[in-house]
Amino acid sequence: MPTAKKLKNKSGKKSGAAVKSEKKARATSSAQSGPSTIDTLLDEKRSFKPKAAFAKAANAKKEVYAQARRNPEQFWGKLAEELVWNKKWRQVCSFKAPDARWFVGGKLNITESCLDRHVETSRRNKAALIWEGEPGDKQTLTYYALYRQVNKFANVLKKLGINKGDRVAIYLPMIPELMITALACARIGAIHSVVFGGFSPESLRDRIVDLEAKLLITADGGYRRGQIIPLKHDADVALAECPSIEHVVIVKRGNFLLRIKDGRDHWYHRLMQEADNFCPPVYVDSEHPLFILYTSGTTGKPKGIMHSCGGYLTGVYATTKYVFDLKDDDVFWCTADIGWVTGHSYLVYGPTANGATQVMYEGSPDWPDRDRFWQIVEDNGVSIFYTAPTAIRAFMKWGEEWPNRHDLSTLRLLGTVGEPINPEAWIWYHEVIGKGNCPIVDTWWQTETGHILITPLPGVTTTRPGSATQPFPGIEAKILDDDGREVKKGGGYLAITKPWPGMLRGIWGDRERFVETYWSKWPGIYFPGDGARVDQQGYFWILGRVDDVINTAGHRISTMEVESALVEHESVVEAAVVGIPHDLKGECLAAFVTLGGSLEFDDKTAKRLTEFVARKIGAIAKPERIIHVPDLPKTRSGKIMRRLLRDIATGKILGDTTTLADPDILARIKKQYEED
């Protein structure tokens, strides 16, 4: 891995200062109880001013902050006016915590903003989607072609009996049909729920059951690192226990073997051949649900986060325009899978609402080699690139020779999302990928927030590595303590103190949990579950999750979910999962388990358990380490003390142990941890 120092030496003038502050950061952190991201971030002093030429041409000007502050409703209202409405709203926002309504009384079909309006202009022939499959196959869809496909599939949906408000589950690889089918649902007011293709059959089943989905859209398979992911086969396993599903549509991605169930299963391409070219948009209320996307929470069951049409579209449209500075001649590439919210907001909806040209890639960044992404940037002249810190750390580890093989000079703006980015990775991204010329937007948001809430505005904001800087215009964030008092110095809880257009409208089928999770900490204020601090310049530094959720490789995994999967295994009696620092993933999972009877524990058992979790939830939830322990540390009331396990796993001095039922257990666990 190129050391931070080596990089900075290359980067000219700014580097001297960079090295100094870096050293200072290290010294500070090692002088304390042990290095931690928090310490390092706290001392970050490097800053990067916008370049004059960028600022001059930027979509965002400094004034937007003042405008939004003066009259937030007018600010959002004006942005909403840049979209297509069938009936104008009476009121921009009505909020009675925890319920918000945006663009009250308005009616729209959001595909008119994403498609119809572009085909009426010269954008008609502009590339909407430049897609590349992992094996190297390519496809470009113009706005007209995308519009056509979406209309046709909307007619297919109608033919299969899908109506406004019905739920459609989508379990596809990253192929154009993922975008087409999602937009087609929106065209007729059906609610889509995309399930990440890496999730297991059981995860798919749980979501379909919770949604009571009528239709599943899947593929015969997809490619990942040269392997075929047998999606339809996995879907069949799930469907054995999904009584609500009436039909299955299968996209033919390859020539993969599969079983067709007559009457239920249909080939996408056959249905499309017969479908009419035009499907009139179904106009829905601004508050009509657009999609449900599941995300991990602190208790076992994933939460179906609900987003609505008018507010969500306004939020993703506005943030795409200002944060990514999208222009008509840009080529935008958000590397996220549409299975996550990032792919919804900054692939399916935000960029299309802005009429952008974008790149979509099916596979892995290191297939067939570690320069695949840079090859794609070079081939397509990507100008705006949005990825996750975990990916950037992997690129760093692979070495700069991979990006250096390619012409990356078309890049003009870089973005990150998913977890706090460590300053070293930020600087590497800036120097090696951006060649010191591209502003970096570190964007903080969540599945629940729908769109970016805390972020620099390129051309306006002076950035500092590791800080997501400031709330987007119109957004109000604060750092509060448990009692809702503002924390002026040091860390506290991040709080969003005003409603915003893309806010979640609920958890599907669980009102109580919605109120309890997000709205019960302080009256009328949204609690995202993150810790943060604000510095003297008003910059926000996100410190990570404060609940039992682990952010691994930019994805939230609930420890409870993995624990419940583990205890389902016949040999596991109890399990406790904690997050431990990981070079590439930020955090990874360590699982402490107790086994039943006289079972032996060896590498094979560990592997079996890891595979078991992968099967139950998906490979992203695999524990990096499984540690067999005689017992778990518990309070006298029987609560597992995960924080002590975390201390053991991170080599920290143990915190308060006075409430432990069996104080001797820790020494034994520690010994086991060091031996395993």
User: For ligand WT7, which residue of 151, 443, 552, 558 counts as binding (CB under 6 A)?
Assistant: 443
With contacts defined by CB under 6 A, how many residues of the chain interact with ligand WT7?
A: 24
187 is a contact residue toward ligand WT7 (CB under 6 A): no
Contacts within 8 Å (CB) and 24+ apart, 514-522: 514/98, 515/98, 517/297, 517/298, 517/303, 518/98, 518/448, 519/97, 519/98, 521/482, 521/484, 521/493, 521/495, 522/480, 522/484, 522/495
216 is a contact residue toward ligand WT7 (CB under 6 A): no
Closer of 387 and 447 to ligand WT7 (Cβ)? 447
Quick note: the x/- pattern for ligand WT7 over 97-136, rule CB under 6 A, is ----------------------------------------
Q: 3-state class of 486 per DSSP?
A: strand
37 is a contact residue toward ligand WT7 (CB under 6 A): no
197 is a contact residue toward ligand WT7 (CB under 6 A): no
595 is a contact residue toward ligand WT7 (CB under 6 A): no
Closer of 281 and 586 to ligand WT7 (Cβ)? 586
Which residue number places its CB atom closest to ligand WT7? 447
Beta bridge partners of residue 100, listed in sequence order: 95
192 is a contact residue toward ligand WT7 (CB under 6 A): no
Structure tokens that stand for 447 in this block: 């599945």
* Cβ–Cβ under 8 Å, residues 2 and 8: no
418 is a contact residue toward ligand WT7 (CB under 6 A): yes
CB neighbours of 285 closer than 8 A, spacing ≥ 6?
A: 106, 107, 309
502 is a contact residue toward ligand WT7 (CB under 6 A): no
User: For ligand WT7, which residue of 93, 146, 411, 417 counts as binding (CB under 6 A)?
Assistant: 417
Segment 531-560, which members bind ligand WT7 (CB under 6 A)? 542, 544-545, 551, 554-556
Q: How near is the Cβ of 534 to ligand WT7 at its closest, in Å?
A: 14
Contacts within 8 Å (CB) and 24+ apart, 664-672: 665/630, 665/631, 665/632, 665/633, 666/633, 668/629, 668/630, 668/631, 669/592, 669/627, 669/629, 669/630, 669/631, 669/632, 669/633, 669/645, 672/627, 672/628, 672/629, 672/630
CA distance 398 to 2: 9
Instruction: Choose the binding region for ligand WT7 from 195-203, 378-386, 418-426, 653-661 (rule: CB under 6 A).
Output: 418-426
Closer of 514 and 601 to ligand WT7 (Cβ)? 514
CA distance 346 to 358: 10
Segment 308-347, which members bind ligand WT7 (CB under 6 A)? 341-342
Closer of 350 and 529 to ligand WT7 (Cβ)? 529
* Cβ–Cβ under 8 Å, residues 532 and 543: yes
* Cβ–Cβ under 8 Å, residues 575 and 567: yes
Instruction: Choose the binding region for ligand WT7 from 151-159, 171-179, 424-432, 442-450 (rule: CB under 6 A).
Output: 442-450
Instruction: Choose the binding region for ligand WT7 from 31-39, 229-237, 506-514, 524-532 (rule: CB under 6 A).
Output: 524-532
Find the helix or strand (DSSP H, E) in which 57 lies. Answer: helix 52-57
* Cβ–Cβ under 8 Å, residues 372 and 142: no
Structure tokens that stand for 481 in this block: 């303590």
83 is a contact residue toward ligand WT7 (CB under 6 A): no
* Cβ–Cβ under 8 Å, residues 527 and 519: yes
User: For ligand WT7, which residue of 320, 357, 446, 594 counts as binding (CB under 6 A)?
Assistant: 446
User: For ligand WT7, which residue of 285, 330, 362, 419 counts as binding (CB under 6 A)?
Assistant: 419
Which residues are at the interface with ligand WT7 (CB under 6 A)? 295, 341-342, 417-420, 442-447, 468, 528-530, 542, 544-545, 551, 554-556
